[in-house]
Amino acid sequence: MEDTEALRQRASALRAEADALTDAYRRRTWWRFALVFIPIPFILVLLRLEIDAWHYYLFGAAYLGLSAVLYSIDTRASDRCDVAERAAETAERAARGPVTPTA
């Protein structure tokens, strides 16, 4: 009986952790999204009359580089959420016990 209660507590703790990670991921994703689409294009629009043609290549490379870095950061954060979600689901299944088929 104590073992079942410990499994339920563990499942509850893992679910809370997975939900917290998912909520934090969703909040931070908007910031990463904004960092991809706002700073470099905004600076480019501000300086469009002041820069030479070859500067556009620099801005393009900076945009692609920043996008790749933020994409890799977002992928790692998403993977952490997926791992936490799978751990919580596994613990919840273990806490429910074996499923017996009904005929």
Please check the confidence at residue 100 and state whether its pLDDT lies above 70: no
Average pLDDT over residues 5-29: 91
Number of domains in the chain: 1
- Cα(69)–Cα(81) distance, integer angstroms: 19
- Cα(74)–Cα(36) distance, integer angstroms: 12
Q: Does 101 map to a domain? A: no
- Cα(30)–Cα(16) distance, integer angstroms: 22
Average pLDDT over residues 85-90: 92
Q: Does 21 map to a domain? A: yes
Band (82; pLDDT cuts 50, 70, 90): very high
Q: Which DSSP category does 38 fall into?
A: S
Residues 6+ apart with CB under 8 A from 32: 70, 73, 74
Q: Which domain holds residue 18?
A: 2-96
Q: Does 71 map to a domain? A: yes
Q: Does 14 map to a domain? A: yes
Q: What's this model's pTM, rounded to 2 decimal places?
A: 0.74
Q: Does 103 map to a domain? A: no
Average pLDDT over residues 15-39: 90
